[in-house]
Amino acid sequence: MIRVPAEPAGTFPDAWRHCVGTGRLDLALRRDYQDSLALLQREIGFRHIRGHGLFSDGMGIHRPYDHAGTRHVHHSFTHLDQVVDAYLSAGIRPFLELGFMPGGLASGDRTVFWWRGNVTPPRDLAEWAALVRATLAHLVDRYGIDEVRTWPVEVWNEPDLPDFWQDADEQAYHRLYEATAHAVKEVDADLRVGGPALSPGAGEGWLLRFAEFAERRAVPVDFVSRHAYSSGPAQHVPFGVHQTLAPAGRLLDQFAAPRRELKGTRLADVPVHITEFNSSYRPDNAVHDTAFHAAYLAPVLVAGGDLADSFSYWTFSDVFEEAGIPTALFHGGFGLLTHRQVRKPAYHLYAFLARMGRDLLTRGDDHLVTRHPDGRVTVLAWAPVDPSGATPGPDGHTLRLSVPVGGRGEAFLRRLTVDEEHGNAYTAWRRMGSPRSPRPHQIDVLHEASEPARGHRRLPIEDGRVDLPLTLARHEVAFVELSRVEDETPPWWDERRLLGREPA
């Protein structure tokens, strides 16, 4: 039995909710996207949202034109205003990623994704800097400097990969970063700018050389960023992939890497933001839809705040089209939510964390225990998973806690469960025959199947503690809340007389 301390060990870090990822920004103009975001914010409540494509042609900001024989550039913010308005009305702020290259400014035609984000450097750095200044100045004018100062500004996305930055040209990225960072600071010195948003495959030298460049050139860097994924090479099948997964601890190793690599440099103490993380880096890997995925990520969300200032789940919704328009409701998308707002098991992992208290009592390889100011004690527990495919024995995973609730009498327990059978619309969808376009009544069934199992009971309090045995099913994540029972039953009430008969 694990004896949970009565006094908190500190505050449980909430770096897990600082930011969440999204598909390209112009998707935020869609109703299903906004409906999904409203649900997410109502039940979880992230602080920032980050996505690609701010300067891509779909947003229509950079608009070159000719007049009287001279080339000019008009900056249009029609879509940007609608996107940011939608975010702020949902209670979430932008984490601005500056990219990709507008077609009218691009030095080449190399693109990435189905929607063709241009990944070439600007043919004119001064025009790029003017675009950055104009965009941020517009945002400051529209939303106020105090508001925009809370929005981190990240320069580009994974420039160490040829797919995202032409030839992965490191020196060209340094030039882009320098011009961008100075442009940001020209708008307001207190705006926060950073990068380089490296991929998990970037060698240690990339970030160190970035730090050396920033010091040598006196370039402002207010935070550093990188990404984390734990999957192996893609094994392609039509409209999907399979991949091996490393143990979840590999993600935590990647979260820790920036501070390790930057030790002793000028950037050693700046905030670290993991601006993308997930198991698979593919938007068509069915593991994202499963209960396994929730249990796999649980220890990462619980421990990640010790290693980074934020880590942003990629992404909140399957309204996402980098590999093309999805071919089925469940298609292995990154999202916590499918189209039509069907909750996945990983969504519930986040929703459970949102119910945890701020005071950290204890945590371990399979549990987290916190307390709320009103005395409620909350437990997040999960069945450890083996990404090699091995499964636990027939009795599941057992955890037993001695939980301090104080007082005497009895405690009220409520439990929410997600596993292979509960809170798992993917399982129901597979049993339906994997309908590509579920009919309305099937959508209703999937929403019903996505609800966690719920239970409640009373447990005795002895010496201010509750003995809490938990048996977790395969791939289960459970949320448990304990509170002292304050019995207000009237003295005349007798449950035995419910049907009007005198008790024997």
Tell me whether strands 377-382 and 367-371 are parallel, antiparallel or unpaired.
antiparallel
**Which of 97, 154, 276, 481 does the annotation list as catalytic?**
276
Cβ neighbours for 366, distance < 8 A, ≥ 6 positions apart: 299, 381, 382, 383, 384, 397, 399, 472
Say if CB 43 and CB 351 are below 8 A apart.
Answer: yes
Question: What Å distances lie between residue 215 and 72, 269, 273, 329, CA to CA?
Answer: 35, 14, 20, 48
Q: For residues 144 and 88, is the Cβ–Cβ distance under 8 A?
A: no
Task: Please say whether the dihedral angle defined by the alpha carbons of residues 29, 30, 31 and 35, taken in this order, is positive or negative.
Answer: negative
For 202, half-sphere exposure in the C-beta direction (CA atoms, 13 angstrom radius) is 30
- In this structure, are residues 278 and 314 in contact, taking their beta carbons and an 8 Å threshold? yes
The answer to whether residue 488 is catalytic is: no
Q: Where are the alpha helices (DSSP H) in 157-203?
A: 170-187
Quote the CA–CA distance of 153 and 170 in Å, as a whole number. Answer: 20
| Active-site annotation holder among 154, 158, 322, 481 | 158
Longest CA pairwise span in the chain (Å): 102
What are the φ and ψ backbone dihedral angles of 412, each rounded to 5 degrees?
-90, 130
- Catalytic annotation present for 276: yes
Q: CA-to-CA distance for 260 and 275, rounded, in angstroms?
A: 18
The three-class DSSP label of residue 446 is helix
Q: What are phi and psi of 460, to 5 degrees?
A: -70, 145
Give the amino acid at 277. F
Pairing of strands 96-98, 153-155: parallel
Lookup: tokens for 160:
């160490």
Beta bridge partners of 117: 112
- H or E segment and range at residue 424: none
Cα 432 from Cα 62, distance rounded (Å):
47
Cβ partners under 8 Å of residue 289, min gap 6: 330, 332, 333, 338, 344, 345, 426
Amino acid identity for residue 131 in this structure = L
Helix orientation angle between 170-187 and 125-143, rounded to the nearest 10 degrees: 40
Per DSSP, 502 falls in state: P
Residues labelled as active-site residues: 158, 276
